Structures are given as structure tokens and as C-alpha cells.
Amino acid sequence: MLDNSYSAVMARKNEIMKSAVGLDYNRFESGSIAFDYEGMMTATGYTIDDVRRIQMEEFAIGDSPIIELKNMTKLARACAPAGKGARIFIKDEASNLSGSFKVRRAAMSVYHAKKMGYKGVLTATSGNYGAAVAACAAKAGLSCIVVQECFDSRGIGQPEIVEKARKCEALGAEVVQLTVGPELFYMFLRLLEDTGYFNASLYTPFGIAGVETLGYEIITQFKGKYGKEPDMIVATNAGGGNLTGTARGMKKAGGSCEIVAASVNLKGLHMASDTQFNLKSFTTGHTGFGMPFSTWPDRSDVPRSAARPLRYMDRYVTVNQGEVFYITEALAALEGMEKGPAGNTSLAAAFALAQTMDKDACIVVQETEYTGAGKHVNAQLAFARHNGVDIRFGNPDDEIPGKSIILPEHPSLIKAREADINHMRASLIKNACKMIDGAPTAEDIRFLAEETKTDITFVEEHI
């Protein structure tokens, strides 16, 4: 009989993970800060051509359309200075199986799990990824368990999370719903050990390789239709895999455009706080995940995360909750498209950023997601109001996360607020240095320069 106390299970986490992923992470370690990131990515054994073929032939995923939002562009130009207002496009990932880009990640994990002889797959997620894993598992004939952080201690769940649980179950998954806090990772490890299922983590090389096809398609489709690559790609950023995979795929297609991360500002709310859990109206794509995972990626459920966004982002901007809700309704009213909140986070940022760019420039929002009853603006705002959040029209700059949601009284008030990316880079260097005794090696310094998309001088100045 195994000791299943919290401390004992946590002590076994590395061996549990090794068994559940089938990848020996020790192969890539240097014994210090640095590790062989590209070696880890290559260890999947799949080229981008392999991934594209598997996604399309096995799961009918990929080649989602790029759609120009002509009316949203017109509105942005009405708010912009003369000569400004870039053309706004979206990559409509809601057209994929399960309704989000995350099915690209799920497909590779499920495919590899079946190839390696696992009987099922298991993932911990608030929802969209769980639905993606469930859909792919159904196609592959594998069992699926989704572990979901859903409730506060009163047993009250956010409508968006409950909606996504419904979708996971509809697609054949068993959903294990837990309260906010450390029990999520503990139960996840217990279930991996008890079932022997594959860990379809968001943060394995298989998952990130799956997203690379998204960036690859943006460049190849855009060049094919418009004769050039876009000037900017905006990616909603939470755990970092969305941006990382998109940027890697963009580069593999020969692209070099600017990569901008966008998150909803939830400053002041703690993601693991029971009392604050239901005061946030966004379950992903927010700074509560985006900032900590950018400045230390290896806080994930695998020993080394393949999602390392600071390697690839050129800028990081934030938008407020009310601005995203406004853009969600504007997209429906102006373009006839209802989409969920995650993709509309980057669309709100793109709407503001387009106003700073020339009219002949092109900006692509690289993903959309499905919407449903619990994800809808009305459900989210009604839940926020029930929890004592003040909702009104006004200036979004006055919004205080957890206390108010301020919808802009005019679209010109929507802003993309620059985060201090150099401060984030310095934080990553500081966090990395805490992990070792003594001074970083020359190899560590080179690695940190790659991790932060800077140079050796910048790293040495911040050690």
C-alpha cells in the first residue's frame, strides 16, 4: 500500500510525472539553471509536417480560416488619428473540433498516448483544454478524466467553469471537480498514479508542438491570400503555451512579425484565494497566470515547461475586464460573430493597438473560442453582480479588479496598457538564480539570454 498523504504524494511527483509522460526530463538537464530546451522539443520525434498531418488526418483539425473584421476596423479607424487604423483579422479557431485552438495541443498528446499504449489520458484544466482532450480522446478511443478547479469553499462555481465542465462531460470525459487550492495538484497526481493514464499536460513538448501549426498557418495563409505576412500577431497569454507555440510555428514558416502578448488585468486578486476565486470574471487569459508563468515557467505540472513565452514575446499589454466584455458584444453586433472571452482578450488589445498603426498595416488575433450559456457576457456579469462587484459604464481606467467592472462609455476609451517587459525579464533571471547555490555558469548566462530574448550583457546586469 502506498502512502497517500499529501507530503508522500508530493515527494513522488517526479517519478509519477516521468511514468505519465514517458519522457525522461533528466536527459536535458545541466545540473544548474540551463537545460536543453530545443533538445526537449525535438525529443517528441514529430516534425511540424508530422504534426500537421496527424492533426488533419486523425482529428480533422487545422486550416481554420483567417477572417478580416472590416466593421471592427472601421470602428477602430473612427477612434484613431488620421492615417491610422490597421486592418484587423482573426484566425477563427472556434471552427475546430471542440471549439478552441487548444484542440491542437490535445491532438498531439492523445495521439502520442495511444501510440505508446496508454489506455487513457488525464488533464488538469478549468475547461477549454479539457474539452479538447475529451474530444480527441473520443476520436482515438481512449478514456479521459478532466480534473477541474471549480468551486470555492461554499460550493459555488463560476458559470464559465461550470459551462466548460458540461462540455467536457458531453464529449465523454469524467470530470472531477475540486475546490480552489492545493488539492488540485495532489488529486491530479493521485489519479495519474492510480490510473496509469497519460498526462496530457498543457506544458509538455507534445502540446506546444501542436500549437506550432497555428503560427505556421497564419504566415502561410496570410502570404497566400495577401502576398505578405501580417505586421503583428496578438496572442492571449496565460500559461504561455499559446504564445510560445504560435511564435515557434511562425518562425518555422519563415515569419518575423511582431509578437504581442495580451492578458486581462486582474492585479490584486490571488488566483489560489478561496475568497477571491469568484471575484474574477475571467478564468484564463489573465495576469494572475500570465505574469507568474512568464517570469517562472517551471511552476507547471511537469519538471520543465515547454511553454516559455518570454523567449518569444516582443511586447506585453493588458486590457481590463469591462473592455473585453464590450469588445465581445461589439464583435457580435458588428460582425455577426459570437465568440468566447479568451480570444476576445487579444481582440480588445488588437482594437487599441490597431489605432497606433498605419492603415496599410495588418494585425492578426491568432485565436477565437466557442461560446456557450455560461461563457456569455450576461452570465458573467450577472454572477459578478451577485458577488457584489459594481458594474457600470464609464472610464475603464477606473476599474478595480474584484470590486468593479467598468464598460467603456465610448470605444475610444479602450486601451492596450504596456507592461514592463524588461522588469519581467529581470524577474525571470532573479527567479532562476534562486534555484541554485552559487553563481550562474557561463552556460546558464547564455541560456538566460535566450530565455529573456535579450543578450549576455542584460543578464549579467540583472544577476
The Cα 154–Cα 165 span in angstroms is: 18
- Fold match, 19-55+100-205 / 59-96+210-418: yes
Average pLDDT over residues 352-360: 98
Predicted local distance difference test score (pLDDT) of residue 351:
98
% of the chain surpassing 90 pLDDT: 87
Q: Grid coordinates representing 326?
A: 464590450
Residues 148-157 have a mean pLDDT of 89
Q: If pLDDT is split at 50, 70 and 90, which confidence band does 122 have?
A: very high
Q: Report the predicted TM-score, pTM, of the whole model to 2 decimal places.
A: 0.96
Q: What is the mean pLDDT of residues 287-295?
A: 95
Q: Rounded to whole angstroms, what are the CA distances from 363 to 214, 243, 330, 358, 359? A: 15, 15, 18, 11, 10
DSSP-derived pairing of the beta strands 143-151 and 174-179: parallel
- Residue 351 three-state SS: helix
Predicted confidence (pLDDT) per residue in 208-263, tens digit: 999 999 999 999 999 999 999 999 999 999 999 999 999 999 999 999 999 999 99
| 59-96+210-418: CATH topology | Rossmann fold (3.40.50)
Other Cβ atoms within 10 Å of 4 Cβ, number: 13
Write out pLDDT tens, residues 333-344: 999 999 999 899
- In this structure, what DSSP letter does residue 315 have? E
Average predicted confidence (pLDDT) for the chain: 95
Taking 3-state DSSP, the helix, strand and coil percentages for the chain, each rounded to the nearest 5, stand at 50, 15, 35
23 CB neighbour count, 10 Å cutoff: 21
Instruction: Quick: pLDDT tens for 83-100.
Output: 999 999 999 999 999 999
Say yes or no to pLDDT of 291 above 80: yes
Q: What is the pLDDT of residue 386?
A: 95
CA–CA dist 415, 78 (Å, integer): 15
- 154-165: pLDDT as tens digits: 899 889 899 899
In the prediction, which pLDDT does 463 show?
93
> What angle, 0 to 180 degrees and rounded to 10, lies between the N-to-C axes of helices 377-386 and 321-335?
150
List the chain domain ranges: 19-55+100-205, 59-96+210-418, 430-462
Average pLDDT over residues 188-197: 95
pLDDT single digits (tens) 54-78: 999 999 999 999 999 999 999 999 9
Q: What's the confidence (pLDDT) of residue 181?
A: 80
Nearest to 147 by CA among 133, 126, 128: 126
Whole-angstrom Cα distance, residue 423 to residue 40? 27
Torsion of CA 70, 72, 73, 77, to 10 degrees: 140
Task: Classify 19-55+100-205 by CATH class.
Answer: alpha beta
